[in-house]
Amino acid sequence: MAGPSTASRGAVAGEKRAAPRPRRPYGAYRTALWIYAGLFYAFLYGPLLMIVFLSFNQSEIVGFPFTGFTTHWYGVVFESPALVKALGNSLGVGILAAGIATSLALALAMGFRHPFRGKTIVLYLILVPIIIPGIIGGIVLLIFFGYSGVRSSLYTTVLVAHVNWVLPFAFLTLYPRLHGFDRALEEAAMDLGAPPWKIFTRIVFPIVRPGVLATLLFSFSLSFDEFIRTIFVTGFDRTIPVQFWGLIVDELAPQLPAMAVLIIVISIFSSLIGFVFMGRAARRAATWSGSARRRPERAFATR
Amino acid sequence: MTTPEAAAPGSESGSGARAVEIRDVSKWFGEVTALDDVSLEIRRGEFFSLLGPSGCGKTTLLRMIGGFEGPSVGEILIDGEDTAGAPPYARSTNMIFQHLALFPHMSVFENVAFGLEMKRLDRSAIAERVERALDLVRLTGFDQRRIDQLSGGQKQRVAMARALINDPSVLLLDEPLGALDLQLRLRMQEELRRLHRSLGNTFIFVTHDQGEAMAMSDRIAVMDQGRILQVGTPEEIYEFPKTRFVADFVGHTNVFDGRVETVEPNGECLVACEGVAFRCRTPAGGLGDGEAVSIAVRYENIDIAVRGDPGAGPGTGCAATVTEKIYMGGVFRFETRTDAGAILTADVPTAGEARRIAEGERVHLAWRPTDVSVLLE
């Protein structure tokens, strides 16, 4: 039913009058779907757009009515030493946490390609931080650091909390890239005289590099937004979300929307670049391994 | 398989003449036996093929020679040295992989240069040798191409150049031509033969294609279910298959189970199978009266005629009815049934009398005792 109708529509594109427009199938269903999609995106992006809108409001009180356009509140954000420091803290921890989590995830993903004893248990252990509610995770970390006598600070407790939180996501992002990696490439390198570390630096890493970059950016984005676990272990060095929380609780500061917009922009930007790299990694895998998928005899022989 | 020949005095049996020796090797993957007590010697400079169906263990054997797998028991010697525990990068072997495994992020030059780079040669020496290698495989001027810009045949040539650049003592080829279409495959076969002749390295070639193995090899090992069934020149394998599997796998063959009727003093014997008597040469081990054996006659070794030769002795022919006649291009394939119900297939050149024989017709089949093989199992 759908086949002929679309075909005829394509054929008569130039002469619309000639044929009566065929009735679309599932008309009501399509309409409902459009309404659903419209509402979905309205609820998803409406508040975000509202925040952007409000960040340019002259009013001293956060909210409507809109009393005039200004970029004043962005100036306030960047003139506040506490906020600039928090931004620096977040960037520093984010970059370090992303680097550490991605390196660990890469090592884990390499290891996970081989069978080893207790593989399933290790996998679950890596994924536990995703399952445990954030508030519980924060308390657990607080107790842990308290008992082990580690003083709360940015590059001790907060960094550990962030790596702990980011690692499972980094692993889940990176593992498919390495799992789908054609082992014959490594064997070929080995055959041509490359010892294991050369195989990694010359063959494996260059090929999975887009996946690694994507993982770095996603990890950074996750760390940059982390709040619940951070607030338990943060000490005196505040990250952006913690600082933000303080501003909401202490005073409903008029520069809040501007800050929110900055956070959103940084997060979206790093994730977007991440997706670009991810797409590149997937395309590479698709074009390079097209012929390498099927090797029935090998599969049989090595089972 | 027979044990490796004892170091008999002779021109070819010194250890210097052997590129690879496989001694009593078995390999198990969990419950699965991939190789079952295999022994084999491959001579220096030989083009040697491992031929068998999927899962017969030929690739496993090749990968063990290359160092990608270790034998569960037994030893593998390359150039007279035990290779136990030596990783692939410490062996004088190089491999052309089934799907080539060219490095997708490198140019043709970088792919071919990789082996030399790992040996830490200086840049100018690398450049010179890569150029020579590319000349050798007729890819001059392709050095800066990316791998995904190459055709299937060009990729094959890059893989050959890359594997040969270190001048391996043994080149291992894991069905590298399998993915090519027929015309290209024939051309690459020719290319490999040319390389082998001009270089003189030992080539070990894995294939499931008996035609390919026949056309290229000095010697062939036919494998099935982890065992080597027969080793010999293509002619030996084809003309004198030792086992039923070899007879079936290599070429088209009529195989019958039967019993030895008489053993004659002139070195021939008569074997009765499904109502047809076959005269054949008694194999070296001798046969006893009444012993159960199988015999094999190739399709093309059976001749067909409207009238039998009255002078022919017993066991060199029989009467039959044509049940099917198929034109195969150059030959007719006749499926026939004897009066006792045995089914014999004959491939006969289209030039002769065969053209006029139709389905359903009574004919006389004939064969020579030298074309009948007695199979060991």
Question: How confident is residue A166, by pLDDT bands cut at 50, 70 and 90?
Answer: very high
pLDDT score of A56: 82
Say what the ipTM of the complex is. Answer: 0.79
Average pLDDT of the segment spanning A276-295: 62
pLDDT at A268: 86
Name the pTM for this structure: 0.75
Q: Which residue has the tokens 């594997």?
A: B163
Choose from A190, A191, A208 for mutation: most chain B CBs within 10 A. A191
The 3 state secondary structure assigned to B7-38 is CCCCCCCCHHHEEEEEEEEEEEECCEEEEEEE
- Band (A22; pLDDT cuts 50, 70, 90): low
Is some CB atom of chain B closer than 8 A to the CB atom of A3?
no
Q: Distance between CA A236 and CA A165 in Å, rounded?
A: 21
B23 Cβ contact list (under 8 Å, min separation 6): B4, B39, B74, B75, B76, B77
Cβ–Cβ < 8 Å for B127, A204: no
Residues 273-292 of B with CB under 8 A from A: none
Cα B256 to Cα A92: distance, rounded to the nearest angstrom: 81
Answer whether residue A101 shows pLDDT above 80.
yes
Give the pLDDT of chain B (377 residues) as one tens digit per residue. 444 444 333 334 444 588 899 999 999 988 889 999 999 999 999 999 999 998 899 999 999 999 999 999 999 999 988 888 888 888 889 999 988 899 998 999 999 999 999 988 889 999 999 999 999 888 888 989 998 888 888 998 999 999 999 889 999 999 988 878 888 888 889 889 999 998 889 999 999 988 899 989 999 999 999 999 999 999 999 888 888 899 888 888 898 888 888 888 888 888 988 888 898 888 777 777 888 888 899 999 999 988 877 767 788 888 899 999 999 888 999 999 998 888 999 999 888 788 888 899 999 999 988 888 888 76
Residue A7 pLDDT grade (very low, low, confident, very high; cuts 50, 70, 90): very low
Reference B207, options B255, B236, B250, B239; nearest CA is B250
Q: Does B148 touch chain A (CB under 8 A)?
A: yes
**Model pLDDT, residue B24:** 92
| Strand blocks (E) in chain B | 18-29, 32-43, 47-51, 73-78, 81-82, 93-96, 170-174, 202-207, 219-224, 227-232, 253-263, 268-273, 276-281, 292-298, 303-305, 317-327, 331-338, 343-349, 362-366, 372-375
| B104/A288 CB distance under 8 A | yes
Tell me the average pLDDT across A176-195: 89
The DSSP result for B354-372, as a single string, is GGG--TT-EEEEE--GGGE
Tell me, what's the pLDDT at B213?
92
Give the integer Cα–Cα distance in Å for B182 and B262: 47
For strand B219-224 and strand B47-51, is the pairing parallel, antiparallel, or unpaired? Answer: parallel
Residue A10 confidence (pLDDT) above 60: no
Structure tokens at A114: 């081989």
- Is the Cβ pair A191, B175 closer than 8 Å? no
What pLDDT was estimated at residue B22?
92
- Using the Cβ of B146 and the Cβ atoms of chain A, whether some distance falls under 8 Å is answered with no
Give the strand pairing for B227-232 and B81-82: unpaired
Q: What is the gyration radius of the CA atoms in chain B, in angstroms?
A: 25
Q: Report the number of secondary-structure helices (H) and strands (E) in chain B.
A: 8, 20
Contact check, Cβ <8 Å, B101/A288: no
Tell me how close the Cα of B160 comes to any Cα of chain A, in angstroms. 12
Banded pLDDT at A286 (limits 50, 70, 90): low
Which of residues A59 and A155 earns the better pLDDT score?
A155
The structural domains of chain A, with segments of one domain joined by +, span 75-298
Predicted local confidence at residue A293, as pLDDT = 41
Nearest one of A210, A184, A186, A229 to A93, comparing CA atoms: A229
CATH number for the A75-298 domain, one of 1.10.3720.10, 3.30.420.40, 3.40.190.290, 3.40.50.300? 1.10.3720.10
Tokens of A36: 């659903």
